[in-house]
Amino acid sequence: MPLSLPFEQVDVFAERPYEGNALAVVVDADALTTEQMQAFARWTQLSETTFLMRPTSPEAHYRVRIFTPLRELPFAGHPTLGSCQVWLAHHDNPELGEIVQECPAGLIRLRRQGPCLAFSAPPLLRSGPLDAATLRRVEQGLGLAGGQVRASQWVDNGPGWAGVLLARREEVLAIRPDYAALEGLNVGVIAPWGGPQAEADVEVRAFMGEECNEDPVTGSLNAGLAQWLIGAGVLGERYTVSQGTVLKRRGRLRIERADEAIWVGGEVQHCLSGTAVFPGR
């Protein structure tokens, strides 16, 4: 027998619908197999699709599994905020100050911050400067001249991010990636916006070399970049991020270091609700 489950599509890191990063969320997905989840994520063709389930940890409010069209991720940022927003819509408790998500990366804390949700950045799985060979691949894949990269660092909290810092926003917006040259690397680029008309403190772009596309707005990357650049004293303990400009999106993130954690926040907009039907096994 086919299985029908509640389904929602939300827009994450968006102050208005259809300006951020879309996420598909399937609710009450405990009965689905990994193969069914991956097939559905492949069919949606969104950067990520998530599946909400009962937690196995007594500390967690819900469990989530996160899939790209190609693979399962242990953690990702915009799926964390979007999944939490959908879970709250189905289990809302206005007195609940902190929500705990269970995922393969561990337990992730989330907070409500006015109209925003924010997650606490998980520990980095890999850090430290990029080696010379990797940096050359990044420069070639992004079309950057030697010396254009001001600093570089592994900022991997699950998706394998390598981060590079440039001097100016215009350099970030001018990048036209060569995914073949990136050879599967996932690379994030950041630079200060600058100027009196700045709408945010920094501009970010995320190039998914594994999937040969650009992610519109990326929570995991921004979490890793914040851990690196706040820790190094390059950025202050509170700043705003613009992402998605080249893709005609208007993603906005709020980054803050507080309570000995990096918090990555933004608004989530509900866009679609319905039912997803899964064929019987």
Q: Which of 58, 77, 55, 54 is nearest to 66 (CA)?
A: 77
What are the distances in angstroms from CA 267 to CA 15, 122, 158, 225, 280?
6, 20, 23, 20, 36
The C-alpha angle with vertex 155 and arms to 57 and 141, in degrees rounded to 5, equals: 130
223, 108 Cβ separation under 8 angstroms: no
What gap in Å lies between CA 216 and CA 266, rounded to an integer? 14
Backbone φ and ψ for 230, nearest 5 degrees, come out as: -70, -45
Indicate which residue of 8, 15, 19, 48 is catalytic.
48
Backbone φ and ψ for 208, nearest 5 degrees, come out as: -90, 85
Is residue 48 flagged as an active site residue? yes
Task: Give catalytic residue positions.
Answer: 48
